[in-house]
Amino acid sequence: MSDTLKLKDSNSEERCLIIGASHAGSQLAVNLRKQGWTGEIILLGAEAQLPYHRPPLSKTVMAGSKTLDNILLRPEAMYANNEIALRLATDVASIVPDQKHVVLANGETLNYDKLALCTGARPIKLPLGDGLAGVCYLRSYADVEVIREQLQGKKRAVVIGGGYIGLEAAAVMAQLGLKVTVLERAERVLQRVTGEQVSTYFTDLHRSHGVDIVCNAEVIGINGQDVVDSVNCADGANYPADIVIVGIGVIPETTLAQEAGLRIENGVYVDEYCRTSDSHIFAAGDCASYPDARYQRRVRLESVQNANDQARIAAINICGGADRYQVTPWFWSDQFDIKLQSVGLSDGHDEAVLEGSLDPADAQGFVIQYLREGKLIAADCVRRPKDFMALKAAI
Q: What percent of the chain has pLDDT over 90?
A: 94
For residue 106, what are the contacts with CB-CB under 8 A and spacing of at least 6?
Answer: none
349: which DSSP letter? -
d(CA 126, CA 249): 11
Interval 126-165: pLDDT, tens: 999 999 999 999 999 999 999 999 999 999 999 999 999 9
CA distances from 57 to 60, 99, 115, 247 (A): 6, 38, 29, 13
Interval 281-308: pLDDT, tens: 999 999 999 999 888 899 999 999 999 9
The answer to whether the beta carbons of residues 313 and 325 sit under 8 Å apart is yes
Mean pLDDT of the chain: 95
Q: Whats the size of the chain, residue-wise? A: 395
What is the pLDDT at residue 2?
Answer: 31
Q: Where are the alpha helices (DSSP H) in the chain?
A: 3-10, 23-34, 60-63, 68-71, 76-81, 141-151, 164-175, 196-208, 255-259, 304-318, 385-394
Q: What are residue 378's DSSP bridge partners?
A: 344, 370
The answer to whether the beta carbons of residues 116 and 284 sit under 8 Å apart is yes
Domains of the chain from N-terminus onward: 3-121+251-318 (3.50.50.60), 125-248 (3.50.50.60), 337-394 (3.30.390.30)
What is the pLDDT at residue 10?
Answer: 57
**Residue burial 181-215, b: 16+ Cβ < 10 Å; e: rest:** bbbbbeebbbbebbbeebbebbbebbeeeebebeb
For residue 115, what are the contacts with CB-CB under 8 A and spacing of at least 6?
Answer: 16, 17, 18, 19, 95, 100, 102, 280, 281, 282
Interval 377-392: pLDDT, tens: 999 999 999 999 999 9
Band of residue 123 on the pLDDT scale cut at 50, 70, 90: very high
350: which DSSP letter? S
Q: Which of 78, 88, 104, 75 is nearest to 45 (CA)?
A: 88
Which secondary structure element, helix H or strand E, spans residue 101, and what is its range? Answer: strand 101-104
The answer to whether the beta carbons of residues 231 and 242 sit under 8 Å apart is no
Band of residue 4 on the pLDDT scale cut at 50, 70, 90: very low
d(CA 238, CA 217): 11
